[in-house]
Amino acid sequence: MTVLAQSAGRVACHESRILIVGLGLIGGSLAAALRASGYQGRIVACDPNKDEVALGIELGLVDAGGTQLSELLDDVSMVVLAVPVLAMESVMTTLAQALPNASVDVVITDVGSTKTTIRDCAERVFGRVLPNIVLGHPIAGSEKSGVAAANPSLYVNHKVILTPEPNVDADALARVEKLWQAGGAEVLQMSVERHAQVLARTSHLPHLLAFSLVDTLARQDERLDIFRYAAGGFRDFTRIAGSDPVMWRDIFIANREAVLSSLDDFEAGLKRLRYAVESGDSDALIATFDRASHARHYFDTLLNKTSYQAEYHMQPHGKVTYRVQPGGQAQGRLRVPGDKSMSHRSIMLGALAEGVTEVKGFLEGEDSLATLQAFREMGVAIEGPHQGRVTIHGVGMQGLKAPAGRSM
């Protein structure tokens, strides 16, 4: 994966006339983001619902629009396909009939979540993925839908993944990059195949689980009490179950193999967790929970662009201000920070030992924390560190397991 640009500031988009096909949340928010960036060109919308187009014009998001795609292509310099995945082929067919295949002046891009399916559509319709086609996917969204939910900040500091083919026209790729940078997004590149695997695990699987959980609870007789007394954690986890059902149906069907693969991995983990609860295996539970807790913590460091060590010591209530006053003499006891080499070795030896190892004076540096996480991924339950204390539940010389996705 290659990082192309980061949104420290808005980049100007110089397209003369952009046609957005599908004026829902994603397409409408792109129009709103372009307006907020100071975009000077014209934005035209095509949507089967004429009321959505009329509302987009009323809100000032688009200049004009209609329900017939073939009537809106005059003088267009870029076409953004923001329609459901299963509608892509019919839309591309209309474009193929109305636009000359040899021209790279009109750039075509999309916002679909399943790039393999959309690439296959382009190959069937055009015979190949033309150099002026740049497939893309903004990693942003909301449980809301429709142009009324358009948000000019939806893409700010969010990622947009582009999956260009090897024959892509360099100018077309650069123009699509600038389109999303104008909306405040960070633009990345990866292959179509890699995109399918990553998104199946980080987006498609969580949505599938949220839909399943809410549907399961909604079928129970005591569902009113369940929903009435549910806390904020339930609300946050299940928020995405309010997303567009038709869109997600199309995504799960289109990315079937990758979704099933990620679901297999999840079901295997859930089976292990069920057995641990059933058998009262506290070591297995703490290993799973602690590994997940620190992995989630590391995920935060990636989002916040901070170091693992800095994020680890982050105060829960935000910024802390220290005021230093001149002082006199100081006396007392001082604890010297632990040694990095000894900290590494304590984790390694404790993991390979039988029983529980207590470590004091552990150096909570980034390298040492990485070693902790490595052994967690190999199945060792590790508590802490907390104020230099670490508790290691050793697995013995033969107890280490291969981390997920790797062999030992």
pLDDT higher than 50, residue 30: yes
CB 89 within 8 Å of CB 117: no
User: CATH second-level architecture of 198-224+236-279?
Assistant: Orthogonal Bundle (1.10)
Pick the CATH number of 2-191 from 3.90.1150.10, 3.40.50.720, 3.40.640.10, 3.40.920.10: 3.40.50.720
SS3 249: helix
Give the whole-angstrom CA distance, residue 144 versus residue 147: 10
| pLDDT over 90 percentage in the chain | 38
Q: What share of the chain is helix, strand, coil (3-state, %, to 5)?
A: 50, 15, 40
For 42-83, the pLDDT digits (tens) are: 999 999 999 999 999 999 999 999 999 989 998 899 999 999
Give the whole-angstrom CA distance, residue 317 versus residue 36: 32
3-state secondary structure 117-161: HHHHHHHHHHCCCCCCEECEEECCCCCCCCHHHCCCCCCCCCEEE
CB 121 within 8 Å of CB 93: no
pLDDT higher than 60, residue 34: yes
Burial of 217 (0-12, 13-18, 19+ CB in 10 A): middle
Pick the CATH number of 282-303+338-408 from 3.40.718.10, 3.10.105.10, 2.160.10.10, 3.65.10.10: 3.65.10.10
pLDDT at 313: 47
For 292-323, the pLDDT digits (tens) are: 887 777 666 666 665 545 444 444 445 556 67
pLDDT at 258: 84
Lowest mean pLDDT among 182-186, 315-319, 361-365: 315-319
Cis peptide before 100 (omega within 30 of 0): no
Closest C-alpha to 122, from 178, 192, 22: 192
Question: What end-to-end distance do the CA atoms of the chain give, in Å?
Answer: 26
Give the whole-angstrom CA distance, residue 188 versus residue 137: 10
CB 338 within 8 Å of CB 363: yes
Beta carbons within 8 Å of 303's beta carbon, 6+ residues apart? none
Closest C-alpha to 369, from 285, 295, 282: 295
pLDDT at 44: 95
CB 42 within 8 Å of CB 71: no
Domain spans in the chain, listed from the N-terminal domain onward = 2-191, 198-224+236-279, 282-303+338-408
SS3 45: strand
pLDDT at 302: 62
The H helix count followed by the E strand count for the chain is: 15, 13
For 109-136, the pLDDT digits (tens) are: 999 888 988 999 999 999 999 999 999 9
pLDDT at 301: 67
Point out which residues pair with 246 in neighbouring strands.
none
Between these two residues, 293 and 17, which has the higher pLDDT value?
17
Q: What length is written for the chain?
A: 408
pLDDT level of residue 3 (50, 70, 90 thresholds): very low
